[in-house]
Structure 1
């Protein structure tokens, strides 16, 4: 080894070689919270010692160095797998083979696809690996002869390499953040449930703020209703049941931050937390709270502000969608009530049919979304009766054959009224209005559909409608006793009604009776 290595007075020839067991190649220095990880891959033990000694007091961007040592390319490959966060590798060209270092460069760039780690190639035999050839053919970041081990030259090289590594990681992080923003923007508008949406927003904000899923943090989405603030969703260390009042579960610091944001109607960014205020055009106010990070960079804050702009739009869309849905529901129930009132039946009939249908649908295995659609659409099953003359609709006695044919047209009238709508709820109502008098054995009307050719909405509503009709007193009949109704349903299993639905119905008779009692005709709708 050349004496040029000793040009720095801090080196002592007696200390070139490693004799401490903890300083053997492959050993890792004590971890610190903030450090740059450096891999030294060289088959000369004294190179490891000299490098560590020269850089013992090195610090860049507030971080010290942590060294990991390898004496062969094989060991270095293992260390790269164990330490994918290494910022820099000081790599010897000649180790177990004359070109071990060059092969390792290709392994890092081509197989590991690690473009961030800075590679400084070092050689004691520059003739075997000419600098111009190596620089052009291999993706390295610097080329040094081992004689260039003075503290100043090594210091300058390490600073330049770490600065480059830091900037590359910032770019990668920003790229990831932008990808998350794009992904979030494409999915948040699909979440129409406010609670699901709020939960999704919290998850995405945690990711954008670079919080590990196991990191200690608190994230909340809250809404203001009058003078009270309620929790919509929570994650991290602050997992509480939904709809709790904020002050009942949050500590004073969190609650004060959120209340201040509501009072000032603005968002607040702090070094360790953020409070995002969102107000819809309809006046509904929400706040999103997140803590648990040490600090936010300007880029992080920029990304979050972009995301929050999209969140504001999504909040508004969900509130508007909810208003539209509530209006649709109100119209549907009102039309159902009008129909039942005209036929001198109780408004609670449509409510009971809706609840019977919901219970049957859930037990049958329909999704929550489909079940809710059915519950909301089923009150429209008899909407076509608006086209039936009063003399037939309210006739106290038995209908003649001709009158019954006219009465049957309420199914096609209702379908015609609703079928042209582009609204999912009204489409479901059109199906129900059309098919709720079809029979499982094919003897029903208007089209004589059989079995599963009848839409499940029609099959469920048929059973719910007949059950409630039998339980209720009408102008043309008395209410039936429950044992008689049960006997009829057993007899009509597979004839009038879907046998699977009859079995579900009979198995949960207590639930059906509870609905009947809860929405008794004695109540005012």
Structure 2
């Protein structure tokens, strides 16, 4: 019965308490804490089970001779698997008080506690098992070699099961976090890391594992090459690198073997690799190291697991490709619209970069900043309904023409307001509100202060900043200092004062964006020399 759980006895085993030169305990050991005020109990216990192994891991014993000593040891070792605990030590209930300390103060519900007593009358079993969170109760006189083995192995089996469940929960949490938001830049990497954690936990593998994926789609990081998307342990340094640059011959050899093996699985001398080519043509590799033989159940689990993971990555790459295509379509639409007004098409790209910069410095998340950046490109969509004669008039507008210009915000809003896309709905709100003013003197609704959504307040600053710092058909570009002076004057009037402060404090970053797009498009004509 015990053999089924890989319990082995060795003729030559290290003495109890063996540790590294620095005093630390090797990680591949089961830590067992013996708490008893009788020295002989410590000696007999370690002698009985010192040569035992469970799941190819040896035992390491920690010793405490009072409840207080045990508390100190427990505070410094958070991975103790089993506590063999005496009830009566410095007081009649020292052991029971330690149980409460472990469960309630340390909040440790993982360690398995085996209560042992030589005075059962001091702690009646029926009372103790109901009132205290212990996992076994034994009288010292009944713990023969065979019973001791059964008790310890049962405790270790329970501990190992609990730890495995907790590791699985952490892996699943990473997967859930990764899939929560399509705009999260590292979503693919986080998903890969999560599935690797889960796999190594389920199969009790070494922590070193690597997953690579080559989708064959344009959205892959290096088209046509297999790129490491996720890795753990010693392979972490290779994330985002082509698999061919991983300078580990044994790993690369295992991957080559997996290509030609049945079902794409190769495992020899603890080096395992899985190769899978999906229906979309993507090539997928998984490499990991193990310290045990894989049984048929393990292999079945691996096949199901890796096949589903590969399909999940395919879907994520496809979604990313669709997202990038949608962004490009929106940008091109916005630029084409800007061309009607004799303004450079880079206006929308500069505004988008300013918006992202302001949003991040305002304290918004990366996801919100990306959302506002993309939505901002459509802020003047309503101009599509403004006649060219009004839109491109070089002189002052008449009151009637100004009303036509003002109407563009409602027209653009009506075009997008019924969309089900979060980005398009955000764009519709920006179109409607980006000409409102902080002091309430804007249009179309005369909103003021926080009544104006933060996305619209940000776009207002970015749009006016770009409009003033670049040439328009009716005027030349303002100098850099004149633009900044205008924003100082309009702080708390036209613009959110906090956003103006961010602009003034970050003017060098705004200048770099302006230079980047102005130089590319040749938009420098007519710009004052002190702008550059």
Normalization by structure 1: what TM-score? 0.71
Structure 2: gaps spanning 5 or more residues:
1-14, 20-25, 104-108, 130-134, 215-221, 524-532
Cα distance change, pair 185–402 in 1 and its aligned pair in 2 (3 A): same
1:350, 1:63 → 2: CA distance?
62
Kept in 1, the 8 Å contact 2:412–2:431? The answer is: yes
Q: Which of 507, 512, 518 does residue 510 from structure 2 map onto? A: 512
2:456, 2:260 → 1: CA distance?
51
Aligned to 1:229: 226
Aligned to 1:209: 200
Aligned to 2:151: 161
Aligned to 2:189: 198
Structure 1: gaps spanning 5 or more residues:
1-26, 149-153
Cα distance change, pair 326–58 in 1 and its aligned pair in 2 (3 A): closer
2:484, 2:83 → 1: CA distance?
79
1:88, 1:446 → 2: CA distance?
72
Q: Which of 172, 175, 178 does residue 162 from structure 2 map onto? A: 172
Q: Which of 410, 413, 425 does residue 412 from structure 1 map onto? A: 410
Aligned to 2:348: 350
Where 1:253 maps in the other structure, the secondary structure is: helix
Kept in 2, the 8 Å contact 1:438–1:446? The answer is: yes
1:467, 1:270 → 2: CA distance?
64
Aligned to 2:448: 450
Cα distance change, pair 387–166 in 1 and its aligned pair in 2 (3 A): same
Kept in 1, the 8 Å contact 2:66–2:89? The answer is: yes
**Pairs within 5 Å for 1:106-505:** 116=112, 140=136, 145=141, 154-176=144-166, 179-180=169-170, 182-184=172-174, 186-190=176-180, 192=182, 193=184, 195-202=186-193, 205-206=196-197, 209-210=200-201, 217-224=207-214, 225-240=222-237, 243-248=240-245, 250-258=247-255, 266=264, 268=266, 272-275=270-273, 282-291=280-289, 294-295=291-292, 308=306, 311-505=309-503
1:52, 1:379 → 2: CA distance?
72
- The CA deviation at 1:518 is 2.3
1:36-88, Cα deviation, whole Å (9 max, x unpaired): 8584958594x776777777877777677767778889988988888874658
1:510, 1:109 → 2: CA distance?
60
Aligned to 1:19: none
What's the RMSD between the two structures over aligned residues? 4.8
- The CA deviation at 1:452 is 3.2
Larger Rg: 1
2:71, 2:429 → 1: CA distance?
65
- The CA deviation at 1:137 is 8.2
Kept in 2, the 8 Å contact 1:177–1:208? The answer is: no
Where 1:380 maps in the other structure, the secondary structure is: coil
Kept in 2, the 8 Å contact 1:188–1:197? The answer is: yes
Cα distance change, pair 248–392 in 1 and its aligned pair in 2 (3 A): same
Kept in 2, the 8 Å contact 1:278–1:285? The answer is: yes
Kept in 2, the 8 Å contact 1:209–1:300? The answer is: no
Normalization by structure 2: what TM-score? 0.70
Kept in 1, the 8 Å contact 2:110–2:162? The answer is: no
Aligned pair count reads 479
1:231, 1:496 → 2: CA distance?
49
1:202, 1:512 → 2: CA distance?
36
1:304-324, Cα deviation, whole Å (9 max, x unpaired): 666546644542442233133
Where 1:369 maps in the other structure, the secondary structure is: helix
Deviates more, 1:69-78 or 1:334-343: 69-78
Kept in 1, the 8 Å contact 2:110–2:159? The answer is: no
Cα distance change, pair 165–283 in 1 and its aligned pair in 2 (3 A): same
Kept in 2, the 8 Å contact 1:438–1:449? The answer is: yes
2:499, 2:39 → 1: CA distance?
80
Where 1:328 maps in the other structure, the secondary structure is: helix
1:78, 1:514 → 2: CA distance?
57
2:55, 2:508 → 1: CA distance?
70
Cα distance change, pair 320–524 in 1 and its aligned pair in 2 (3 A): farther
